[in-house]
């Protein structure tokens, strides 16, 4: 017992001496090490977000100072714009597909490959590969797949003796095609999160369940999945926040078309805000995006916290 406490006391007095001795160097260190991060972050993250709120009440093309105050007019125009409704609805669809198709797919595959074997490692790398590719590259590759003259879908239609469908030029099929690519691109990311969590589930718990006669499906459902709930919550958060920001894949695939049917919030604010230099109007869309992201994050945090307590 005494040998346990003595070093502790020694340590504390050492720490006290430390604090005294370094009080002078402390502020120099803070003043040198902290400002670069604070300045960069304020200048390029916080200030632009505040600016977006400010610009959103002006009709402004981005040149000179904003002076044509229009109040909430940008917002009412936005909420009246049917393309913006489409963009919101498409974003909601992306969130749903991520939660209902992508996450269960990722979870199922994670359960199949989480054990550390050479073949599993290989499959894991393959499944994760699309995540590493640039969205633009993924979009272009899939534009080829869906091309009505050259692509793989065209080839399949012909093989079936059907007239080729120009998937990405078809109002009905363009967005489902985009959602397919998004699942393809991101399921590996979610799978990796689940794998990391599954590997930390104690082996004896699984063994115990098996000894009691649980089938693999039951082990997954009643032991493994409940124990990695935290990882699922986190991946759900990433899925939602990520869905809100989809941009890069849409641009090479459809650029928001055909007839504005595949816009998301971000392609909308880029197309109608920046490309046409309606900075005020685009900023209103940005504010909506911002509010949605924060709102969802807070709601999600509260909902999952409640569930964890229950």
Partner 1 sequence: MSGATTTRNTLRVIVLILVASLVIGPLLASFFGGFKSNAELRTNPLGLPDTWNAENYVAIFLDGTFWRYLGNSFLISSMTVLLTLVVGAAAAYVFSQIRFFGSKMILSYLLLGLMFPFAAAILPLFIKVRDLGLLDTYWAVILPQTAFGLSLAILLFKAFFDQLPRELFEAAYVDGCSYLRFFWSFTLPLSTPILATVGVFVFVQSWNNFLLPLVVLNDRSIYTWPLGMMQFQGEYLTQWNMILAFVTLTITPAVIFFLAAQKYIVAGLTGGSVKG
Q: Can residue 152 be called a binding residue for partner 1 (CB under 8 A)?
A: yes
Question: Measured from the CB of residue 58, what is the shortest distance to partner 1 in angstroms?
Answer: 12
What gap in Å lies between CA 224 and CA 202, rounded to an integer? 9
Axis-axis angle for helices 229-244, 279-309 (nearest 10): 170
Total residues contacting partner 1 by CB under 8 A comes to 97
Q: Can residue 302 be called a binding residue for partner 1 (CB under 8 A)?
A: no
Question: Measured from the CB of residue 43, what is the shortest distance to partner 1 in angstroms?
Answer: 7
Q: Can residue 28 be called a binding residue for partner 1 (CB under 8 A)?
A: yes
Among 4, 32, 211, 310, binds partner 1 (CB under 8 A): 32
Among 4, 9, 37, 310, binds partner 1 (CB under 8 A): 37
Q: Can residue 96 be called a binding residue for partner 1 (CB under 8 A)?
A: no
Select from 131, 87, 141 the least CA-distant residue to 235: 131
Q: Can residue 270 be called a binding residue for partner 1 (CB under 8 A)?
A: yes
Q: Can residue 243 be called a binding residue for partner 1 (CB under 8 A)?
A: no
Do you find a cis peptide bond into 159, omega within 30 degrees of 0?
Answer: no
**How many CB atoms are located within 10 Å of the residue 167 CB?**
25
Among 247, 257, 258, 261, binds partner 1 (CB under 8 A): 247
Q: Which stretch binds partner 1 (CB under 8 A): 94-102, 184-192, 201-209, 218-226?
A: 184-192
Q: Which stretch binds partner 1 (CB under 8 A): 68-76, 91-99, 137-145, 205-213?
A: 137-145
Q: Can residue 6 be called a binding residue for partner 1 (CB under 8 A)?
A: no
What gap in Å lies between CA 265 and CA 241, rounded to an integer? 12
Please give the full DSSP string across 189-237, using - where no structure is assigned: HHHHHHHHHHHTS-HHHHHHHHHTT--HHHHIIIIIHHHTHHHHHHHHH
CA distances for 278 relative to 59, 114, 229, angstroms = 7, 49, 44
Question: Measured from the CB of residue 252, what is the shortest distance to partner 1 in angstroms?
Answer: 6
Question: Measured from the CB of residue 207, what is the shortest distance to partner 1 in angstroms?
Answer: 16
């Amino acid at each position: 017992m005494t040998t346990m406490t003595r070093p502790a006391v020694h340590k504390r007095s050492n720490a006290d001496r430390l604090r005294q001795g370094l009080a002078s160097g402390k502020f120099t260190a803070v003043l040198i090490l902290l400002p670069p991060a604070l300045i960069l972050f304020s200048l390029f993250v916080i200030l632009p977000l505040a600016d977006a709120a400010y610009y959103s009440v002006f009709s402004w093309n981005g040149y000179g100072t904003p002076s044509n105050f229009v109040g909430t007019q940008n917002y009412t125009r936005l909420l009246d714009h049917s393309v913006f409704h489409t963009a919101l609805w498409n974003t909601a669809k992306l969130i749903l597909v991520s939660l209902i198709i992508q996450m269960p797919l990722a979870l199922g595959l994670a359960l199949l490959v989480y054990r550390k074997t050479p073949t599993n490692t290989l499959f894991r790398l393959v499944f994760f590969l699309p995540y590493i590719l640039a969205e633009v590259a993924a979009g272009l590759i899939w534009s080829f797949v869906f091309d009505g003259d050259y692509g793989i879908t065209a080839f399949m239609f012909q093989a079936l003796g059907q007239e080729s469908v120009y998937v990405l030029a078809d109002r009905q099929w363009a967005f489902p095609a985009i959602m397919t690519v998004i699942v393809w691109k991101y399921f590996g990311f979610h799978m990796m999160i689940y794998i990391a969590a599954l590997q930390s589930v104690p082996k004896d718990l699984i063994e115990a369940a098996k000894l009691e006669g649980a089938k693999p499906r039951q082990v997954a459902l009643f032991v493994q999945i409940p124990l990695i709930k935290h990882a699922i919550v986190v991946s759900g958060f990433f899925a939602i926040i990520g869905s809100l920001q989809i941009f890069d894949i849409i641009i090479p695939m459809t650029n928001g078309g055909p007839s504005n049917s595949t816009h998301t919030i971000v392609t909308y604010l880029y197309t109608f805000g920046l490309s046409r230099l309606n900075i005020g109007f685009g900023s209103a869309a940005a504010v909506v995006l911002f509010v949605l992201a924060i709102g969802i994050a807070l709601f999600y945090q509260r909902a999952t916290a409640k569930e964890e307590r229950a």
